[in-house]
Structure 1
């Protein structure tokens, strides 16, 4: 980077930045490649993965005045013994610093997880050290998410400093991510009295607000219908503006705007100047009320110290503190509310926990939808079928599995997008295999890591209200150990699978609300005889796993879900046709649970063939003979459902005035 190529891309970028405005994308940036100092990247199954970790921490100092200041800062940082490399960034207004780290035995992390933990702690150490060196320069490190894949654009700096003999900093291998907040933003003294009065607002907005409140009080105090009303109004308005601390020329300008040429400018200027000459104690008594001031200061404090968002899926407000080493959003708890209130009081705000709670549970906090955020950030699909490839990771003897999984996956994504509010994704894959073959891991891996907080394998169908709320709370629900779902809950399970929307009362709410359903279902089991309701077998894609599931494969989640979104956009069907449902029912016959009553019937009776001599008996008569022959006493519930069992077994039935008579042959 001490020399530049013939095309001079860095010089072209710096030249473009001189003439660029404050917004818009500069195309010259795209011509500069990214440099990864700390990791060596490779590709595995079309996904970028880490091959090696080098322990180099990249720090950024941004917001410099220009190249001269950047060069001075670079030269100062080059004198520190911990600095391995430092150079001016591609913009010419930043400085990059590279600091090497090792473990005490001279080694570096070998796994991705170890590298992630090591890098986060090393980054925190480096920031704390170099921040102290930058204090005399009134500069600060720009905090970034400390991941090993940190990178920067290629740059050109003839004065680049490189010390190959630098002694790396030694750091023990950490076991967890750093949680402690080690830096708090300091509140600098503001020299502008208007900014002290209404912090966080643009100066023009502050003056406009103060002028309007001053005008409101003047209009209430002066009778404008009198002949000299305009003159008196200007005098009273000017007094209020003086006490509010508005500069004289600003008062003239806003007054002329208000009267729209009805009063000569010379009269306005002379009146304002005379009042400002006579009045005392400029800015001593602003017309803005104390409550308005507190509201403005609260907005400024919350926006300066924290970021908030309302997670529509989790149903909670989440936060992260600005300029700290905590980069992930976390739920706002009572402890957090108290901490925010204490921090506000320490800055002189009379803000209590109830006020903080009121602010957080208002429309001041923007809405955040994890599903929408994920789906709308997907890249363009490259045309490769990854959904069926994901299905192929599960070894099975069902040739329809890839196509059925593809259909179910599209329905799941369509449900997230809200494409169909009339029908639910009522079909669920049911993975049946030996313990330890990777069923649960496969189900969890269907969601990308950032969305796995919205996956659960714990649902209790006996708690019906909670189970229904899960449809709105989670994106994917795994009915783990499906064979443990009792027969008493099969009816509710059928109901919840086909429920498109929810009409429930949330906890701590009095009204019933209509909630959107996001959840799709998948299930696992170690046993193959588990479908106790034959009428509901079309709702399951049962597959018998014949080997170990390939859970070590790298999944390209952006392209996987981009395929689903694009196919749905192109009109691909996301529901199962009647022909496909017939195939499901046929394939699922081997997984149906045969009850003891069925076994007893088949032991003592069989269905009559067409034209065969047989007996026509009521279901209760057949059951009575079975009990007499077997010696088993069957419950009243079994007696009631015995007719359904006979119909399931295909026993011919004749409807007569005395009831349904079944054609059977006693063995």
Structure 2
């Protein structure tokens, strides 16, 4: 038989007796408030109030949830806590004492650290116990205890929102106004805790709720790289047009390194957007979607991004991978805004339902697909867009992206850079010409001139105005000259200073296209 020592409990010279079904003999154990080995609070009056609440609850039928909250508040007292728990639970659940002990021990395996003796006071008040006048501060603390027991809350740093779940469920959801009101009603109506909705919001939007960063956590916990070239294998799932065969693996590798760098380094961002051109139905969108690991599916956005729209801009900042939509027919100002967003490191914005603006760093990487090849229309340059034409795509590969990112992280930490060299940027700009709209000025220049070096035979040195007069004699003005200058730069013509007639002038180095003539040599072998 189980033997328990008898503990005497005195209160105002009176003795309170609590029946504890400790074994088949149903021993009666007396508890002494002042001499008891459990101390809930340094405040003697508060300590006594907790014991009064326990005695009060032991005489009432309690819900399972409330019994378990009492148990959670007693876990730290071990054996004595188990004894008190069994005494409180016995009236509600006529189980053998051993079963109640096992119940307590099960609770002790998963303690909720935030639960304290205040839960005992709050539950007793909920069941009708009259206590000293309850202050707003006490009600506030009661609410925190209840929230800690009933729910799990996290503050999602990337999205700047609260996600939560009831402890009895497994699925988290974003906290919206409807959820907030439902929780408040439960606190007010079911738990009889008198706080305001504003009090509840203050609790939830404070350090009471732990911050989490699922994106940073994912990359921090990546496994060590095992030495295999997963990035190369991923590149092999796309067969590009022949003229992009050499540059495609470089594009992909740099883009992936930029993606990882943007997450693990505060000072870095991915300043390039990977763009796949190919026939409709070849698998571009599915291939892009497979870049996102299951753990980060909530941080993938596919849609149109307008850098001048606040909500759209927030989407770009909240996600890891942004799949740009509707790139086939962009306006020039949209491409310019998109380039600005891609290269922007931080922004200061006020999130929905927030009172103050906050500064956040962009960690997103941009990628997109187009069916129409000519979509770039910025004559100032397009080196931010890493464009290729995909002939074939294996969008159903089973490459583990966790291992791809682990390799990229390893390369970064080993000293490899995610940015392009000067020569590589020149090649990117040259490649992007295939994806650019041709302006009238570009077409006329291509028809009349070719780029050359200053020491080439037949090299000419003309100012922008002189070229304007040669190509468009009927339209000589600043706007035409600006477009000519942009076109010459885009097409790779060299501009330099040269002394002409004793003065230094800024001129373009050009060569006229020679007329091609075909001479037929008169020979005796002619077939006619």
Give the TM-score range, shorter chain: 0.5 to 0.7
Change (3 A) 1:299 1:505: closer
C-alpha distance in 2 between matches for 1:569 and 1:431: 28
Counterparts of 1:653 and 1:627 in 2: how far apart (Å)?
24
Aligned to 2:276: 431
Select which of 173, 180, 195 maps to 1:337.
180
Q: Map of 1:74-223 to 2, 5 A cutoff?
A: 206-208=40-42, 210-211=43-44, 214=45
CA contact (8 A) 1:607 1:665 kept: no
What are the residue-to-residue correspondences of 1:421-460 with 2, within 5 Å? 421=267, 423-460=268-305
Gaps of 5+ in 2: 1-30, 54-128, 516-528
Secondary structure of the residue that 1:496 maps to in structure 2? Answer: helix
Q: Distance in 2 between matches of 1:426 and 1:521?
A: 9
Number of residue pairs matched by the alignment:
395
Which of these residues, 551, 567, 574, is aligned with residue 411 of structure 2? 567
Q: Deviations over 1:573-604 (max 9, x none)?
A: 33333343344334434333321221134446
Paired position in structure 1 for 2:306: 461
Give the direction of change, closer, same or farther, for the CA distance of 1:573–1:646 in structure 2 (3 Å limit). Answer: closer
The answer on 1:577 being equivalent to 2:421 is yes
Q: Give the deviation of 1:534 after TM superposition.
A: 5.8
* SS of corresponding position for 2:274: strand
Aligned to 2:483: 641
Of 212, 222, 232, 1:388 maps to: 232
Residues 638 and 477 of structure 1: is their aligned pair in 2 closer, same or farther, counting only changes over 3 Å? farther
Asked whether the equivalents of residues 306 and 321 of structure 1 are also in contact (C-alpha less than 8 Å), the reply is yes
- Whether the aligned pair in 2 keeps the contact of 1:207 and 1:246 (CA below 8 Å) is no
TM-score when normalising by structure 1: 0.52
For the 8 Å contact 1:604–1:626, the answer to whether it is kept is: no
- Unaligned 5+ segments in structure 1 are 1-191, 195-202, 215-239, 248-283
Tell whether the 8 Å contact from 2:335 to 2:376 is kept in structure 1 after alignment: no
Aligned equivalent of 1:594, options 438, 445, 459? 438
Whole-angstrom CA distance in 1 between matches of 2:507 and 2:166: 74
Query: How much has 1:611 moved relative to structure 2?
Result: 4.8
Q: In 2 relative to 1, CA 647–409 (structure 1 residues): closer, same or farther, beyond 3 Å?
A: closer
Offset, 1:331: 0.8
Give me the whole-angstrom Cα distance separating, in 2, the residues matched to 1:302 and 1:606. Answer: 73
3-state SS, counterpart of residue 344 of structure 2? coil
User: What is the CA-CA distance between 1:426 and the residue it aligns to?
Assistant: 0.8
| 2:372 corresponding residue in structure 1 | 527
Shift of 1:506: 4.2
Indicate conservation of the 8 Å contact 1:620/1:639, yes or no.
Answer: no
* Partner SS state of residue 457, structure 1: strand
**Counterpart position of 2:166:** 321
What CA deviation, in whole Å up to 9, does each residue of 1:149-189 have, x standing for no partner? xxxxxxxxxxxxxxxxxxxxxxxxxxxxxxxxxxxxxxxxx
User: Contact 1:608–1:614 at 8 Å: present in 2 too?
Assistant: no
**Following TM superposition, by how much is the alpha carbon of 1:452 offset from its aligned partner in structure 2, in angstroms?**
2.0
What's the C-alpha RMSD, in Å, of the aligned pairs? 3.7
Match of 2:220 among 373, 376, 393: 376
Change (3 A) 1:300 1:443: same
Deviation at 1:424, TM superposition (A): 2.5
Equivalent in the alignment of 2:246: 399
Structure-2 change in CA distance of 1:243 and 1:427 (3 Å): closer
- Separation in 1, partners of 2:226, 2:421: 28
Partners of 2:319 and 2:364 within 8 A in 1: yes
Q: Distance in 1 between matches of 2:376 and 2:489?
A: 16
* Matching residue within 441, 448, 470 for 2:315: 470
1:318-347 Cα distance to aligned partner (Å, 9 max, x none): 1111213xx221111111112112222123
After superposition, where does 1:26-65 map in structure 2 within 5 Å?
A: none
Deviations 1:588-647 (A, max 9, x none): 34333321221134446667884539694643772685374xxxx899755533222234
Distance 1:585 1:365, change over 3 A: same
- How far off its partner does 1:481 sit? 3.8
Q: Distance in 2 between matches of 1:430 and 1:485?
A: 14
| Alignment partners' CA distance in 2, 1:472 and 1:614 | 49
Deviations along 1:458-512, whole A, 9 cap, x unmatched?
A: 2333625445433421111122343433212333333222222224444555655
Distance 1:509 1:352 in 2: 19
User: Residues 606, 413 of structure 1: CA spacing in aligned structure 2 closer, same or farther, 3 A cutoff?
Assistant: closer
Task: Quickly say closer, same or farther: Cα 1:551–1:339, change in 2 above 3 A.
Answer: same
Counterpart in the other structure of 1:536:
381
- Structure 1 residues 336 and 591, CA gap change in structure 2 (3 angstroms): same
Counterpart of 1:357 in structure 2 is 201
TM-fit CA distance, 1:310: 0.7
Cα contact 1:615–1:665 (8 A) shared by 2: no
Q: 234, 259, 264: which is aligned to 1:412? A: 259
1:207 is paired with a residue of what secondary structure?
A: coil
Distance 1:607 1:356, change over 3 A: closer
Measure, in 1, the Cα distance between the counterparts of 2:232 and 2:452.
45
> 1:488 corresponds to which residue?
333
Secondary structure at the aligned position of 1:395 is classed as strand
Change (3 A) 1:454 1:464: same
Alpha carbons 1:442, 1:551 under 8 Å: kept = yes
Q: 1:361 offset after TM fit, Å?
A: 1.4
8 Å Cα contact 1:477/1:521 also seen in 2? yes
CA-CA distance at 1:387 after TM superposition: 1.9
Q: Distance in 2 between matches of 1:370 and 1:635?
A: 56
Task: Find the counterpart in structure 1 of residue 458 from structure 2.
Answer: 612
What corresponds to 2:398 in structure 1? 554
